[in-house]
Structure 1
Amino acid sequence: MTPPPNLPTYSRAQLALRNGNDRDEIWCAYQGLIYDVGTSRLWRNGTHYEHWAGQDLTDELADAPHTELVFQRFIAVGILAQ
């Protein structure tokens, strides 16, 4: 997925704060992009089954019952710093 131009870059520590508890934002990263998943009722309170917001979920997608296309439902809000 190609990131939209001019997205800010966030560190893993900054992403971790967007877990639905420390701040109102509920964000997750996938393949280097950070998505706002707060609009999904499935991410209410920052959890989705055994997954937690504020993390890079790239490696966990293989265990999910859906494909990466699910991220097309959400707005990319940033780039995860390497």
Structure 2
Amino acid sequence: MEKEGLPEYSKSQLALRNGQDKPQVWVAYKGYIYDVSDSRLWKRGMHYEHWAGQDLTEELKDAPHSDSVFSRFPVIGILYVNHNL
């Protein structure tokens, strides 16, 4: 997947898309941000013990499914990480 042309969002911008603060429900995985708003599994901003508005890269290692689940959702941006902090 190509990151070129996708908007960048910070972790704080991602955190607002948690299913409670704004109507969008987003999660990040391996640097990409996915819109999971239409998923019945994320309706309240939580999917099992995972919260929306966060980077789930590390958490998915313990999931009972592969990362192919993200192919169902649109990529809406990339997660900007400032390494200078």
Residue ranges of structure 2 left out of the alignment (5+ in a row): none
Superposed CA deviations along residues 19-67 of structure 1, whole A, max 9, x for unmatched, are 0000000000000000001111000110000000000000000111100
- State the TM-score, normalizing by the size of structure 2: 0.91
**Quick one: percent identity of the two aligned structures?**
60
Matches within 5 A, 1:4-43: 5-43=4-42
Residue ranges of structure 1 left out of the alignment (5+ in a row): none
Root mean square deviation of aligned Cα: 0.9
Bigger Cα Rg: 2
Cα distance in 2, alignment partners of residues 80 and 10 from structure 1: 5
Contact 2:3 2:78 in 1 (8 A): no
Matches within 5 A, 1:56-71: 56-71=55-70
Count of aligned pairs between the two proteins: 81
- State the TM-score, normalizing by the size of structure 1: 0.95
Cα distance in 1, alignment partners of residues 36 and 13 from structure 2: 16
- 4+ residue segments displaced more than 3 Å: none
Contact 1:3 1:33 in 2 (8 A): no
